[in-house]
Amino acid sequence: MKSVVKEKQTFSKDERLSSRKLIEQVAKEGKSFLVHPFKVITLEVPTAIGTEIKYPAQVMMTAPKKRFPRAVDRNRIKRLMREAYRKNKHTLYTALTEQNKKLAIMLIYVGAELPEYKLAEDKIILILQRLSKYETPAQ
């Protein structure tokens, strides 16, 4: 928990949502909202599992195969989302540490066309702000 507060721009394996069980749980029970080209699904991780996770949030990005049949396009979208999240995640991290919470987040791209990086970054920032605020009144 000590290394988290630093505003590092890394994005290591532990910061990604990688447990198969947890992914299924989020998809099933998570709450979702929409910020235009993205759909966000979140779930507060129970403390029993949460103690094993070192970072305040785990995130995954996807792009649907139906809209983007070519693998090149899907890779590009996921890379842009990942880059935008990596650069701006520290605001969410500080907010979550104050609340002593852990979040699992799924980001799904639902737009019809390939996005520009600028647009993607703006929207990701908006999502992160909303996530930080969204959890505050519950405390």
Q: CB burial class (10 A; 0-12, 13-18, 19+) of residue 28?
A: exposed
Residue 108 in the binding site for RNA (CB under 7 A): no
Query: Residue 12 or residue 139: which is nearer to RNA going by CB?
Result: 12
Say whether residue 16 binds RNA (CB under 7 A).
Answer: yes
Least spacing, CB of residue 64 vs RNA, in Å: 12
Counting contacts by CB under 7 A, is residue 18 touching RNA? yes
Q: Which of residues 64-93 bind RNA (CB under 7 A)?
A: 70-72, 75-76, 78-80, 82-83, 86
For residues 14 and 24, give the distance between their C-alpha atoms in angstroms, rounded to a whole number: 18
Q: Which amino acid is at 36?
A: H
Phi-psi map region of 16: left, alpha, beta (phi>0 left; psi -120 to 50 alpha): beta
64 or 133: CB nearest RNA: 64
